Structure 1
């Protein structure tokens, strides 16, 4: 059985691919890469076919990460059928979470979660949205990177507990 995760943001060029690549690396480091598949998508089609934002890839390089799909990434829009096909859908913010729940059309949505709901500090502060770095500079992409990496251990633990 392969546990399937989809990370979702607006256009699938900044936040969602960044976490997709971070999770691939984390599951590889945890010895789970053969049991977990991670992909990403956007709620919008406006960036469909575009590469990951170069600032996203630069932030990952600045923090010492190797390429776990960044050069090959092409943005795509999530499809309703994917909601039932994934074990965990990770939304970047409340707007995405709400759109995904509507897209589910009445089907169960307990597997659709906010990314930062896996970060105990973010939960304690009550700030569960991942900042959108699109209009920003390197410092904004680094802030988004920090928010995402803080959630990674909780996501890995959650998936590890869900695996048979």
Structure 2
């Protein structure tokens, strides 16, 4: 009998730039870590404005040039059922995290929301002594209104946190009964 996979969802605004980029990066990193099949990664947005649209062409180009598989993806808004069923919800910004926490059906679901960049060892500390004021210091910049460089910066931020996420999930899997 196969154990239930650990479910990770990346979340941004429209689900066409940052969250599908993070989905692609994490899928590869989990596969490289030997966790393919034990971890399922998908993505969504907090808005339905892009519902049904594919990954943004600029995000697609940056991912492909970096050697990532671009998911066959159609944007959709996250549902309460998805929030409840994911083991880890990775928000691209503090706004996304707040929205997810308010939509969560219970405290346990809300507690599974984390800032994506909180897993980047070089990111600002938002939790301990001397920490910055709030989670917004961990926002992954929205490349939508920018140029290619903004998409490359978003991908670099996503990549910088990916190994920390993989290690977190590895520990979570090891602690399962």
TM-score range, shorter chain: over 0.9
- What CA distance in whole angstroms lies between the structure 2 residues aligned with 1:150 and 1:15? 14
- What CA distance in whole angstroms lies between the structure 2 residues aligned with 1:21 and 1:105? 27
Task: Judge conservation of contact 1:18–1:56 (CA < 8 Å) in 2.
Answer: yes
Match of 1:26 in 2: 29
Aligned length: 161
The correspondence of residues 38-117 of structure 1 with structure 2, limited to 5 A, is 38-65=41-68, 67-69=69-71, 72-108=72-108, 109-117=110-118
Match of 1:14 in 2: 17
The higher radius of gyration belongs to: 2
Q: In the TM superposition, what whole-angstrom CA distance separates every residue of 1:14-69 from its partner, at most 9, and x where no partner exists?
A: 0000000100011111110110000000000000000000111111122222x152
How far residue 121 of structure 1 moved from its aligned partner, in angstroms, is 1.0
- What CA distance in whole angstroms lies between the structure 1 residues aligned with 2:70 and 2:171? 24
Task: Judge conservation of contact 2:18–2:154 (CA < 8 Å) in 1.
Answer: yes
Instruction: Pick from 142, 145, 148 the counterpart of residue 155 of structure 2.
Output: 145
- What CA distance in whole angstroms lies between the structure 1 residues aligned with 2:35 and 2:105? 32
Greater than 3 Å deviation, 4+ residue runs: none
The correspondence of residues 111-130 of structure 1 with structure 2, limited to 5 A, is 111-124=112-125, 126=132, 127-130=137-140
- What CA distance in whole angstroms lies between the structure 2 residues aligned with 1:36 and 1:68? 18
How far residue 3 of structure 1 moved from its aligned partner, in angstroms, is 0.1
TM score, norm. by length of structure 2: 0.87
- Where does the alignment leave 5 or more consecutive residues of structure 1 unmatched? none
- Where does the alignment leave 5 or more consecutive residues of structure 2 unmatched? 126-130
Task: Judge conservation of contact 1:4–1:38 (CA < 8 Å) in 2.
Answer: yes
